[in-house]
Amino acid sequence: MSFITIVIIAIGLSIDSFAASVTIGACSPNITKTHMFKVAACMAFFQGLMPLLGWKIGIECMHIVEDYDHWIAFILLFIIGVKMIYEGITYSEQKECCFCPSKTLVVIGISIATSIDALAVGIGFGVLLIKIIPAISIISATTFAFATLGIYFGKKIENILQGRLLLFGGIVLIGIGVQILFTHIYGIN
């Protein structure tokens, strides 16, 4: 898998974190830079941890699924993409803030929730034998940047863009799944 593909996957995975961060910024317009970086670091940590765990699962199951690895990666990315598109379509612009984003447990909960998709991507990485350290480094750094920007933008604008960002992220992940499938079936790089 190329560096560019991993960067695109990282961007697709970071969309959930960005959307959640916009909400955090919108719900706490007086958030400090220290707390903003704490939130971004927590999101980046879990967004990097989940693919690592998934990769380990994928590596352990490799001998079972090696003939179908490209289909597994495609199906996982397709399901995640469809889920994100669905969330983007059903996103309600009238959602009220019902959480306190300054509490550590809330930040950890949001971080885990927005990184579950990365676990499935990590499984795909494992079955495709992707080098995981560079991949999770790119995913974590991208998530940190997106979360930081999300909080900043959330402070500046209303969170009406979240649904559109989820749609975009879903389409990107499905596109990557299709690319993996065609690469393995037809030998196209």
pLDDT digits (tens, 9 = 90+) for 105-150: 878 888 887 787 788 888 888 878 889 999 999 999 999 999 999 8
- The pTM score is 0.69
pLDDT digits (tens, 9 = 90+) for 57-90: 888 876 776 667 677 767 776 877 787 678 777 7
CA atoms of 129 and 137, how far apart (whole Å): 16
CA atoms of 141 and 44, how far apart (whole Å): 7
- Which domains are present in the chain? 3-91+104-186 (1.20.1250)
DSSP letter, residue 30: T
